[in-house]
């Protein structure tokens, strides 16, 4: 009866052991299944709504599987001249990719400085950098808007990209923590071989920081991809609009039905880059969480 | 020493300012092409104006129109930062959360009186009734030109009426037998109050105006009389008066005592966070703004339109939502902006706009006939009758008349939430709102 007791006396016969495992596993799987269904049902609803016609979208009780699959919803996003989905998608990609490049380059350099060099006041300086995390966007919104308008960048994508080239306190903090864990011996060895300080950063630190860089790239990409307020403030011309503006506009009329089916189709398409990025960076990303979490 | 520097600095500043204004005046000279900006919500019923621009520019070769837009939620933020950054649009309206009075008291609007007078503008030429034109006057000065006029209507689900064997409500406001109590009786016959979402349905959803204005229908008023003459600053709040308390009891009694109206939980589960539960086909009668009519061609059921029943207040039975166009104070081209506004309210363009916008009600009464006949399955004569009655028994939306309305409205929404959910009684909550609102108004209107 007692499985462990049997196992103590003699090596348990294979089938028995497997049965014991399968009971526990069965329970585990059942539990997982319930949680999975609960987690996936909104996702399923998104997919099913994206394939409904307008009439069916309004039906109550809602149908879980569309009666007719309106694949044309996806095509309409690109063909309806009022929506301009393709153009917005492109703009969002430009902004998000540039933001990732800018943030990773600038923040990693600053983080390297804070992690590897100590001087009088460097602690204070670091605190100062961190304190900028406390400033919410609405507090700097108007001054920043005035600045970019003065230098003539209003209604272009640049005000959304440029600030990223000046570092982000949160990312600097994350990277600094990671860089501090790299052993000093590596740098000493580099210096003995005559490497410049920049080379220590470029050829030693960055290649070793893969997981951390993957993590911050994903964070930055998602922030930039989802940002709505800043693009709304800066962009005036329709051809410069980013995805969040377009999608917010779809449900912004109180005088009409929101086209939920189109909106869900747009949501599916707009989550693709994030899913792709996550798939590519997943191994490193998970490592990154573990590493930054422990240290 | 200090004073010398100060005066020198002032001198320089003044010269720059003078030079600056001189320059900007130069730009606006006639003969040259000027560009004006029209700022609006990014939704098809507003951005359709883009399609009118080629025609307008052909008729006015020296004016170019540029449309800028933002989603509804961000409309105010973008406008504020644009004004701060000296990028203010020329023409816009209160399409965000804030209302006319808020724009007015923040000093955002241009006084159009002189401009209109110089131009020889006459509202009658555009078939705009004088009393509608008066809505956007303060102290005799005009700050806005009406563009669209929405009213409160009753929409009803004909299928639900047929099934319950109840007679359709009338469209004539003079039919005084159509009363609030009669509406409740009809609602009772259609209501199935059940925990099971698939079975449950409710007779009436009484969304008359915003929460603070709703008591007006019952002959009470949340704000003191002076609000309507002093620029929308209530000197006193009446939430402690018995007639106001009784009105709120009646309103929320529909949900919790009579049980003929849906709870917020029901509404959300059949129509989402911001949706209208009427669209789900589970509501018999819905008292709403007439913008809901625009979607009626997509409904899954037969829809009818009726008069709002006669309530305890015989004078006010409908809330009017007249949307104006403003010229902002910083506009460098007010004359050209006015040309654009006048173009938008001509009979021809207002008629064209109905179809382009998908059913915006024109303010131009000549164009209105076309509006009345643009809904599938609803007799144009009935819509006309309902609109006429609503104008006669209408009161302008508080949103357009009271200063700082977005904050006041938010207070009501938050505090009345527990009452709507049935967690608290109206009479428990009203003293709290009275106190908070009095303090809020004292702070805002100091």
Compare all CA atoms of chain A with the CA of B289 and give the residue at the minimum distance. Answer: A255
Task: Judge if A25 and A92 occupy the same domain.
Answer: no
Query: How does residue B197 score in pLDDT terms, banded at 50, 70 and 90?
Result: confident
pLDDT at A255: 52
ipTM of the predicted assembly exceeds 0.90: no
B303 and B426 in one domain?
Answer: yes
**How many independent structural domains does chain A possess?**
2
- Report the pLDDT value the prediction gives residue B111, as an integer from 0 to 100: 95
Same domain, A56 and A180: no
B250 found inside a domain: yes
Name the residue range of residue A202's domain. 80-294
* pLDDT the model gives residue A9: 52
Provide mean pLDDT across the span B380-404.
92
Residue B16 lies in a domain: no
Residue A286: predicted pLDDT: 61
Same structural domain for residues A35 and A91?
A: no
- Selection from B321, B309, B327 nearest residue B400 by Cα: B321
Q: Do A145 and B81 touch (CB under 8 A)?
A: yes
Q: How many angstroms away from the CA of B177 is the closest CA of chain A?
A: 31
CATH (domain of A193): 1.10.3720.10
User: Is A255 in the same domain as A206?
Assistant: yes
**If you average pLDDT over every residue of chain A, what do you get?**
84
pLDDT tens digits along B307-317: 999 999 999 99
Considering only alpha carbons, which residue of chain B is nearest residue A255?
B291
Q: Is residue B326 a part of any domain in this protein?
A: yes
What six digits make up the tokens of A145?
A: 């808007």
Is B346 among the domain residues?
yes
The confidence band for A116, taking pLDDT boundaries of 50, 70 and 90, is confident
With CB atoms and an 8 Å threshold, state whether B81 touches A228: no
> Contact A252/B300, CB-based, under 8 Å?
no
Q: Least CA distance to A245: which residue of chain B?
A: B71
Q: Which residues of chain B have a CB within 8 Å of the CB of A238?
A: 69
Domain assignment present for residue B18? The answer is: no
What is the total count of domains within chain B? 2
Secondary structure (H, E, C), chain B: CHHHHHHHHHHHHHHHHHHHHHHHHHHCCCCCCEEEEEEEECCHHHHHHHHHHHHHHHHCCCEEEEEEEECHHHHHHHHHHHHHCCCCCCEECCCCCCCHHHHHHCCCECCCHHHHHHHCCCHHHHCCCHHHHHHHEECCEECCEEEEEECEEEEEEHHHHHHHCCCCCCCCCCCCCCEHHHHHHHHHHHCECCCCCCCCEEEEEECCCCCCCHHHHHCCCCECHHHHCCCCCCCCECCCCHHHHHHHHHHHHHHHCCCCCCCHHHHHHHHCCCCCHHHHCCEEEEEEEHHHHHHHHHCCCCEEEECCCECCCCCCCEEEEEEEEEEECCCCCHHHHHHHHHHHCCHHHHHHHHHHHCCCCECCHHHHHHHHCCCCCCCHHHHHHHHHHHHHCEEECHHHHCCCHHHHHHHHHHHHHHHHHCCCCHHHHHHHHHHHHHHHHHHHCC
For residue B171, give its domain range: 152-320+378-444
């Amino acid at each position: 009866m007692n499985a462990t007791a049997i196992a103590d006396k003699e090596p348990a016969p294979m089938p028995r052991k497997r049965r014991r495992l399968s009971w526990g596993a069965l329970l585990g799987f059942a539990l997982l299944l319930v949680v999975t269904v609960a987690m996936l049902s909104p996702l399923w609803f998104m997919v099913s709504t994206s394939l409904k016609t307008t009439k069916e979208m309004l039906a109550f009780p809602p149908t879980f599987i569309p009666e007719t699959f309106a694949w044309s919803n996806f095509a309409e996003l690109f063909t309806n001249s009022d929506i301009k989905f393709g153009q917005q998608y492109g703009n969002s990609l430009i902004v998000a990719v540039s933001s990732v490049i800018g943030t990773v380059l600038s923040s990693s350099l600053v983080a390297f400085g804070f992690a590897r060099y100590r001087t009088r006041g460097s602690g204070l300086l670091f605190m100062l950098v961190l304190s900028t995390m406390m400033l919410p966007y609405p507090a700097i919104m108007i001054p920043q808007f005035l600045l970019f308008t003065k230098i003539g960048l209003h209604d272009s994508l640049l005000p959304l990209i440029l600030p990223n080239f000046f570092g982000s306190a949160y990312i600097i903090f994350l990277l600094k923590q990671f860089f501090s864990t790299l052993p000093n011996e590596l740098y000493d060895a580099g210096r003995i071989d005559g490497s410049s300080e920049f080379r220590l950063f470029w050829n030693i630190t960055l290649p070793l920081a893969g997981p951390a860089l993957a993590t911050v790239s994903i964070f930055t990409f998602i922030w930039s991809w989802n940002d709505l307020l800043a693009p709304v403030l800066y962009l005036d011309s329709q051809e410069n609009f980013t995805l969040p503006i377009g999608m917010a506009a779809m449900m912004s009329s109180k005088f009409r039905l929101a086209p939920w089916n189109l909106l869900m189709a747009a949501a599916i398409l707009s989550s693709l880059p994030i899913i792709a990025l996550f798939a590519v960076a997943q191994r490193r990303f998970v490592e990154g969480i573990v590493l930054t979490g422990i240290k | 020493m200090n004073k010398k520097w100060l005066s020198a600095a002032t001198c320089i500043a003044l010269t720059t300012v003078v030079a600056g204004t001189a320059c900007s005046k130069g730009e606006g000279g006639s003969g040259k092409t000027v560009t004006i900006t029209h700022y609006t919500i990014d939704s098809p019923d507003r951005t359709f104006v883009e399609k009118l621009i080629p025609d307008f520019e052909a008729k006015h070769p020296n004016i170019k129109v540029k449309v800028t837009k933002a989603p509804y939620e961000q409309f105010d933020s973008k406008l504020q930062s644009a004004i701060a950054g000296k990028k203010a649009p020329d023409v816009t309206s209160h399409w965000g959360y804030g209302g006319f009075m808020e724009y007015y008291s923040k000093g955002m609007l241009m006084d159009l009186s002189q401009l209109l007078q110089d131009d020889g503008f006459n509202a009658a030429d555009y078939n705009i009734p004088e009393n509608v034109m008066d809505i956007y006057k303060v102290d005799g000065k005009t700050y806005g030109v009406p563009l669209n006029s929405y009213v409160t209507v009753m929409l009803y689900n004909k299928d639900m009426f047929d099934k319950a064997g109840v007679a359709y409500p009338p469209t004539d406001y003079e039919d005084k037998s159509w009363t609030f109590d009669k509406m409740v009786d009809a609602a009772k016959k259609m209501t199935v109050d059940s925990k099971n979402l698939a079975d449950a349905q409710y007779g009436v959803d009484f969304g008359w105006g915003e929460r603070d204005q709703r008591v007006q229908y019952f002959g009470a008023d949340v704000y003191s009389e002076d609000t309507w003459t002093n620029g929308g600053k209530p000197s006193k709040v009446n939430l402690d008066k018995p007639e106001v308390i009784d009105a709120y009891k009646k309103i929320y009694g529909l949900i919790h005592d009579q049980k003929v109206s849906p709870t917020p939980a029901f509404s959300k589960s059949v129509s989402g966070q911001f949706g209208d539960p009427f669209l789900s086909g589970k509501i018999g009668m819905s008292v709403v703004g007439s913008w809901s009519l625009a979607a009626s061609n997509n409904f899954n059921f037969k829809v009818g339109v009726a008069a709002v029943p006669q309530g305890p207040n015989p004078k006010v039975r409908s809330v009017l939502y007249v949307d104006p166009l403003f010229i902002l104070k910083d506009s460098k081209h007010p004359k050209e902006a006015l040309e654009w506004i006048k173009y938008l309210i001509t009979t021809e363009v207002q008629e064209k706009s109905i179809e382009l916008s998908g059913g915006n009600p024109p303010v131009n009464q000549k164009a209105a006939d076309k509006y009345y006949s643009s809904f599938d399955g609803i007799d144009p004569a009935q819509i006309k009758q309902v609109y006429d009655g609503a104008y006669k028994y209408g009161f302008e939306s508080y949103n357009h008349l009271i200063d700082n309305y977005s904050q006041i409205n938010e207070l009501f929404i938050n505090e009345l939430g527990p009452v709507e959910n049935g967690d608290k009684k109206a009479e428990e909550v009203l003293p709290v709102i009275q106190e908070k609102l009095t303090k809020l108004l004292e702070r805002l209107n100091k």
